[in-house]
Structure 1
Amino acid sequence: MRHAPGTFSIAARDPDTSTFGAAVTTGTVAVGATCPYVSATAAVVTQSYTNTNHGRDAVARTDEGERLDDVLDERLSADENADYRQVHGVGRDSEFTFTGDECVAWAGHRVGDDYTVGGNMLAGSDVVDATAEAYESTDGDMAERLVSALEAGESAGGDDRGEMSAAILVHAPDPEFYHNLRVDLSADPVSDLRALLTEARRAKDQIRSETDDLFSEYPDEILNFGVKY
């Protein structure tokens, strides 16, 4: 089984709901462990030859009031291996895209209204375009739009080797446990991510129904689980 960096992803913001989200799929395992980062002020994806500190520092510093583009410009300027990186994301008041010269073809990015898309080692530029267009045209909440974007990118050719893992990560004022979903190893991770999102939504309703059966009265707050980032 071959493992090598190669990914397509989307980072997005919904200014109407103060929600930030990222979704990513790749041709190696456990992409959700290293690539997507979100906070109350930003969504960032670091990929190709990933540097997790770029994503971690970016969302932390935007939370402190810095502009995302300034933070990532600074970090990549100081990174002697920047040519091998691909980083993109959105903040409250800025977008950022970077594809290093040594990223494996096809590699590139796109900026849209309130989102960025990037990919490397892809079947072609149609993957990025399809991902972007699906995000723009899909109705629903952030999680729905992100998974639909990955599905469209995969249908357009996806990772040139085929995908092995996929993830979504969402930061919202009202967190749900389906805002942090990972498929770490699968022959069809994007399809499995869709199934996982569907089941997670159903599970939310089931947990409330089961709690109603267990208790005649209970504080609603016990069902506010929050999300681990």
Structure 2
Amino acid sequence: MTFSLIARCVRTGQFGIAVSSSSPAVASRCAFARAGVGVVASQNVTDPRLGPLGLDLMERGAAAAECRDILVRGNAFAEFRQLAVMDRHGAAAVWSGARTLGCHATAMRQNVASAGNLLANETVPEAMVENFHASDPTLPLGERLVRALRAGLEAGGEAGAVRSAGMLVVDRQSWPLADLRVDWDDAPIASLTGLWALWQPQMDDYVTRCLNPLSAPSYGVPGDE
């Protein structure tokens, strides 16, 4: 009931994830990333505890494959879980337990990985990885993520209609650079693309406003000078 892509931007060091599902509020349960550390997708019969736990392991020095193995060994219901993990070096590791739902598949290369379950066909993760890998590396990571998510939908997506989507990108600060969510919609990936188009031109300004308000651009609202 979910397909996702995790990635690292070689140019900026940012980490990100894009995800979509037939279930509501998918990003709140499945998408986890930490600046300078890595990114984790926890899906299928989701255990959201695995996201922060995996990030803690990688922050303490675990490589992606080691992190995955520890998460699987320590989870009482690992056969229900599907994971995609990426460490600070862009190495990826994936896991699909024996009770992963329906048609499921994974794909990965350096700096990008994808996983999906209850898919329309097994080509969906590879289509997402290939789209990301072939995209212009000078584009913002968020742009590459939403394009790859659309590629997954165009390759078939889920076996049924998707209803939610989200994108999470972290950069150098402890808070997300982008954390966009469509929690229930007839066309959530299209709506997510629209949210990204709205947010992207101003997202760096909000970081500046936090770090140094004196050099921040105007909000452009009445009373703001």
TM-score above 0.5: yes
Q: Take 1:206 and 1:91, find their aligned partners in 2: how far apart are those partners?
A: 28
Partner deviation per Cα, 1:119-168 (whole Å, 9 max, x = no partner): 00000012112111111122211100000000000011101111110011
Paired residues of 2:78 and 2:97 also in contact (CA < 8 A): yes
**Deviates further, 66-75 or 197-206:** 197-206
Runs of at least 5 residues in structure 2 that lack an aligned partner in the other structure: 219-225
Aligned-residue identity in percent = 26
Partner deviation per Cα, 1:62-96 (whole Å, 9 max, x = no partner): 12222232122112112221111100121024321
- Is 1:57 the counterpart of 2:53? The answer is yes
Moved beyond 3 Å, runs of 4+: 174-178, 202-207
Instruction: Give the structure 2 partner of residue 182 of structure 1.
Output: 181
Q: Take 2:66 and 2:167, find their aligned partners in 1: how far apart are those partners?
A: 25
Q: Take 2:172 and 2:201, find their aligned partners in 1: how far apart are those partners?
A: 21
**What SS class does the counterpart of residue 119 from structure 1 fall into?**
strand
Instruction: Give the structure 1 partner of residue 127 of structure 2.
Output: 130
- Is 1:12 the counterpart of 2:7? The answer is yes
TM score, norm. by length of structure 2:
0.85
Paired residues of 1:54 and 1:72 also in contact (CA < 8 A): no
Instruction: Give the structure 1 partner of residue 84 of structure 2.
Output: 88
Paired residues of 1:36 and 1:169 also in contact (CA < 8 A): yes
Instruction: Give the structure 2 partner of residue 119 of structure 1.
Output: 116
Q: Take 2:121 and 2:58, find their aligned partners in 1: how far apart are those partners?
A: 32
RMSD in angstroms over aligned alpha carbons? 2.4
Paired residues in the alignment total: 210
User: Are the structure 2 counterparts of residues 53 and 177 from structure 1 closer, same or farther at C-alpha, using a change threshold of 3 Å?
Assistant: closer
Q: Displacement, 1:113?
A: 2.0
AA aligned to 2:106 is: H
AA aligned to 1:136 is: H
Paired residues of 1:178 and 1:197 also in contact (CA < 8 A): no
- Is 1:105 the counterpart of 2:102? The answer is yes
- Is 1:44 the counterpart of 2:44? The answer is no
Q: 1:21 aligns with which of 16, 22, 30?
A: 16
